[in-house]
Amino acid sequence: MRQYIVDAFTDRLFRGNPAAICVMDSFPDDRLMQDIATENNLSETAFAIKSEKGYRLRWFTPKGEIEFCGHATLGAAFVLFSFYEQNSKKIVFETANGNLPIKRSDKLIDMDFPAYRLEHIEITDLMIEALGVVPIAAYRDRDIMFVLRDEDEVQSLHPDIELLSKLDGACIAVTARGRIHDCVSRVFAPRYGITEDPVTGSAHCMIAPYWSKRLNKNSITAFQASSRTGILHCEVRGERVKTSGTAVLFSTADIFI
């Protein structure tokens, strides 16, 4: 089995979010895919197989399969365009989250994702204790998103990860207006064994619609302020979010199974 490790949402090695991408003829047993993801110990390992419409794609964290991941989708598209579909400009991924159209244009890979809802929720004492700050507002869909006062509060946040894991969200995102970029964020996913995710494409299906409405602009440049950092170019189109980014190859390997 051929495996590629790609740094996504960056044009520099050792930045962005690393993802492992395995390309094969058919999906192996779920237990084996989970063991590979656990062994890799990256936030995501993606498995892709050729299909009639394009490629079927599945994502595994170190602790389990999830229905949607943005940065590993970018990583998978980068690998396929680079090594398997060099003459193609478009790929469709068939996933548990529906069909995801992917295009490459110049140096960017454009991904068409469904937007998350922005369901306003009450801020609880547990949320405040977990974050260590009092957020301005909170919203929920698959993830929970907290709006903080400014970029400095996002950058300096030291949440209680154990308490964050008790909140009812796959990912816990914090965001604020940015000084250079339209918005800044950080994302935590302790339920999946990920203390802090370096760059999170899926969370911006919630972050981008919020700032698009707040700033009254469809195109958003988002900066994820993890230690590795990453930049996402997002365009809100009604109930869809086009998320674009770059990626770089770190390594290739054969898995002997």
Q: Find the distance separating the first CA and the last CA of the chain, reported in whole Å.
A: 7
Closest CA to 141 of 158, 107, 118, 123: 118
Characterise 214 by phi-psi region: left (phi > 0), alpha (psi -120 to 50), beta (else): alpha
Q: Is the dihedral of CA 194, 197, 202, 206 positive or negative?
A: positive
Catalytic residue among 39, 44, 65, 151: 44
Which run of H or E residues covers position 180?
Answer: none
What are the start-end ranges of the H helices in the chain? 30-40, 70-79, 125-131, 151-155, 161-164, 204-215
Give catalytic status of residue 196 as yes or no: no
Residue 248 sits at φ, ψ, to 5 deg, of -135, 145
Contact 45, 59 (CB under 8 A): yes
Contact 110, 244 (CB under 8 A): yes
Contact 8, 72 (CB under 8 A): yes
AA identity, residue 78: F
Q: Tell me which residues are annotated as active site.
A: 44
